[in-house]
Structure 1
């Protein structure tokens, strides 16, 4: 279940009665993804990147980070090479391989470095590619820059402005065909985009994920502060509902971070606190979810630098959340998903042969130097290359437009999450705060999927599990 390995075949999930794993539901509420190798189904285990496919995922699989010392080695190379030219050639080949079965590919052009370097390669390798940029909220607006990139390269460009109600409706329409479940904070954006792409005749999505792990991601000051803030303190979750605090995203985020362990604070987004999860279930459940992190702690504890520690931690969420959103969406929409930056030949060349100064500048800490130089051969210093763009989603707008629908799904799931309706009613007036609205988003994703798939599957855990 990773583009680093191969394209997953969801046909293995044959239509048989399965058992929904309640601990996995807790994972989704606590971290927005299911801890691998687990899935939403108790009988189905996933081999994500870092696990060995030859091991038994139902026994005691070992997690091993595949890109140790990323961005740090090798120290030097034997001869000078035109690294940018080699990179461009290999990236074009990666695009051709990953998109070989696509008739009309569309590139998710977020405005960041990865999607821009891919656009350059697509212009040579797949000039029939259409670029599409998603405008998700006030925090970003890369439409002008993205359109300029596409125009300069001779690629068609489209834009889609986030309408949270429309995106939610498109998600609901695809839920019956969604094989497994993640609650990544860009999942609804993905379904919104995929529906738009399919309506325009596209049959494949090119995603720029995958390069961070092998290029290396230096720990910025904000990441160090977040790691320091994650104190794993048993603070009561109702503190975020106090007067003055409940309206402040910063204060709520601070309280949420103080309650988290350092690894889970690396995962993106604001999520339910352990106490809230237990209230939603009406019984202790968060501790069983938190226990699943132990599988990764031994490997993470061997990190040789702060940035490797962060890369290891992020890889957990990347496999089970960030990649999963695209793979599950593509399967539900009968489309293909391509991740050229995960290509084996490309990533192995960069990780093992490209010198350190082409990955991370040792003087400034600037990352993805080779990608930046590749972009500079076509565009020079575009402003958006210095800052990261993303496909954000309007979680506050979703709560404002679809509260009653989600509350009805919560009522239907009352036997599984008896505390969901009380939580929604108690917090409704707080959803203009992105911290609380992010939790509403998690319920908006999880509850409809459960409502549909529970009709065909049971909730109680089986006596025996079957490897999948």
Structure 2
């Protein structure tokens, strides 16, 4: 999916550029190791990104001097503190496609299967014992069908996350009917978090994706069972698009970036209801940022965590994508752009954790030949149907082998039990918050934790706890004892 190629960005430090490729084995994070380990090396706006959205807006990273680029089309120019994208999101614009099927569906499915098998073969060529992260959804089911032909020696593994997750039965049934070995890993938040802390020093860059802890838990399990490579079915949403549903129209109406008082969320009838908290938090967001998954800190909360205004700088990072957003014709098209932004950042949860555990990682959906075909040759009526049904081509591919899979009837959304994490690791995270405050790093974190401890059985608040649980120990691990300059230096860019 990516390789690292330094660019001429700064005389002292080149940006880390992750460029689309099928093989990630050659990624070199040594540039990160050369950075000074102090508070001044962090980009505070990127930390605000993590708290507001659970990821850092591309092309930025948590470090001031490291920029992450996912395509050769995006060159990072300008000063260290104000990078811009050289191209106007050419790869993320709406791409002209054939409007209707010019070839038979069978021919399209056959071509798709052939290209997907080739992508699997190419991306796993150097793996002797690959393991596949099989979620049980459409993309992973389609990938499993290709694996049965291209890499029948693969071991599938499915993560049983929070209480709403129900894809395990589908994943097991698919793997066994394809003749693939299948394993399951039940979410143990304490084990996953302890594994994260054990490897946090080796994780080169920071993301707070809500599947990041489960990802590291899985990769650690794979390595412990002798696996020498990981396959991930991430990367197809940008090609296939994301249909809009009635709830997205409601979110668009609600998301007006209102400033609501924090005490409103503490009212008894509200603080106990995830749905009410989620609706009120939507009112505080922009319509586009509500497309991003999960419950995150409001702008006011972010400023309180920093002890100074910071959220507005994170919000401005969306400006570089406005041309593409404004050119989008429909809500579905805007969701497609949001998926591209989030997906580019979401690769980090795999790239960074796999690097920390020294395992190669393959993204077959990022294969260049497959991507070109999906982008330019697949007609619209095989992407999203007129009734909003998504990934028509993928569904047709699956239907050749299976019908009426459980994921079609109901699909869970949480990959990690954030409420259980808060129950079993609250004291540890609070101590991280106190240590960070002593370094003048997110000094408002202990107060937020104390004020919301009684509400962490609501996943709205527990999701925010998760963000602090991921961000704080990573930052603290990189801090040397604060110097006078660091203690008094301003965060503002």
Q: Does 1:338 align with 2:362?
A: yes
1:400 pairs, out of 423, 437, 461, with 423
Deviation at 1:114, TM superposition (A): 0.2
**Partner secondary structure for residue 253 of structure 2:** helix
Q: Does 1:350 align with 2:374?
A: yes
1:421 is matched with 446
Does the 8 Å contact 1:185/1:269 carry over to 2? Answer: yes
Does the 8 Å contact 1:395/1:437 carry over to 2? Answer: yes
Deviation at 1:32, TM superposition (A): 0.7
Residue correspondence of structure 1 range 98-113 to structure 2 within 5 A: 98-113=123-138
1:295 pairs, out of 293, 310, 320, with 320
Q: TM-score, normalised by structure 2?
A: 0.88
2:303 is matched with 278
Deviation at 1:385, TM superposition (A): 3.5
2:224 is matched with 199
1:30 pairs, out of 52, 61, 73, with 52
1:369 is matched with 392
Q: TM-score, normalised by structure 1?
A: 0.93
Does the 8 Å contact 2:134/2:140 carry over to 1? Answer: yes
Provide Cα deviations, 1:23-51, integer angstroms capped at 9, x if missing partner.
211111111111111111001111135x7
Structure 1 residue runs without a partner (length 5+): none
2:43 is matched with 21
1:83 is matched with 108
Deviation at 1:284, TM superposition (A): 1.2
Provide Cα deviations, 1:79-116, integer angstroms capped at 9, x if missing partner.
54611111111100000111122221111111100000
Deviation at 1:5, TM superposition (A): 4.5
Deviation at 1:417, TM superposition (A): 1.4
The alignment yields a C-alpha RMSD, in angstroms, of: 2.2
Deviation at 1:462, TM superposition (A): 10
Residues 159 and 386 of structure 1, relative CA distance in 2, 3 Å threshold: same
2:73 is matched with 52
**Cα separation, 1, equivalents of 2:232 and 2:117:** 14
Deviation at 1:380, TM superposition (A): 2.1
**Partner secondary structure for residue 381 of structure 1:** coil
Does the 8 Å contact 1:136/1:162 carry over to 2? Answer: yes
**Cα separation, 2, equivalents of 1:67 and 1:56:** 19
**Cα separation, 1, equivalents of 2:326 and 2:404:** 38
Residues 221 and 32 of structure 1, relative CA distance in 2, 3 Å threshold: same
Q: Does 1:66 align with 2:88?
A: no
1:134 pairs, out of 145, 148, 159, with 159
**Cα separation, 1, equivalents of 2:402 and 2:476:** 48
Deviation at 1:262, TM superposition (A): 0.9
**Partner secondary structure for residue 17 of structure 1:** coil
Does the 8 Å contact 2:32/2:204 carry over to 1? Answer: yes
Q: Does 1:328 align with 2:349?
A: no
**Cα separation, 2, equivalents of 1:337 and 1:202:** 11
Deviation at 1:78, TM superposition (A): 5.1
2:250 pairs, out of 225, 234, 238, with 225
Q: Does 1:10 align with 2:35?
A: no
**Partner secondary structure for residue 379 of structure 1:** coil
**Partner secondary structure for residue 245 of structure 1:** helix
Q: Count the aligned residue pairs.
A: 460
Residue correspondence of structure 1 range 242-257 to structure 2 within 5 A: 242-257=267-282
2:336 is matched with 311
1:42 pairs, out of 54, 57, 64, with 64
Deviation at 1:213, TM superposition (A): 0.9
Provide Cα deviations, 1:261-293, integer angstroms capped at 9, x if missing partner.
011111111011111111111111111211212
Does the 8 Å contact 2:257/2:284 carry over to 1? Answer: yes
2:215 is matched with 190
**Cα separation, 1, equivalents of 2:231 and 2:482:** 33
Residues 211 and 57 of structure 1, relative CA distance in 2, 3 Å threshold: farther
Deviation at 1:316, TM superposition (A): 1.5
Provide Cα deviations, 1:307-328, integer angstroms capped at 9, x if missing partner.
11111122222212x2111111
**Cα separation, 2, equivalents of 1:103 and 1:349:** 28
Does the 8 Å contact 2:164/2:414 carry over to 1? Answer: no
**Cα separation, 1, equivalents of 2:57 and 2:284:** 19
Q: Does 1:455 align with 2:480?
A: yes
Mean Cα deviation higher: 140-149 or 416-425? 140-149
**Cα separation, 1, equivalents of 2:121 and 2:481:** 39
**Cα separation, 2, equivalents of 1:69 and 1:313:** 12
Does the 8 Å contact 1:275/1:286 carry over to 2? Answer: yes
**Cα separation, 2, equivalents of 1:28 and 1:138:** 25
Does the 8 Å contact 2:211/2:415 carry over to 1? Answer: yes
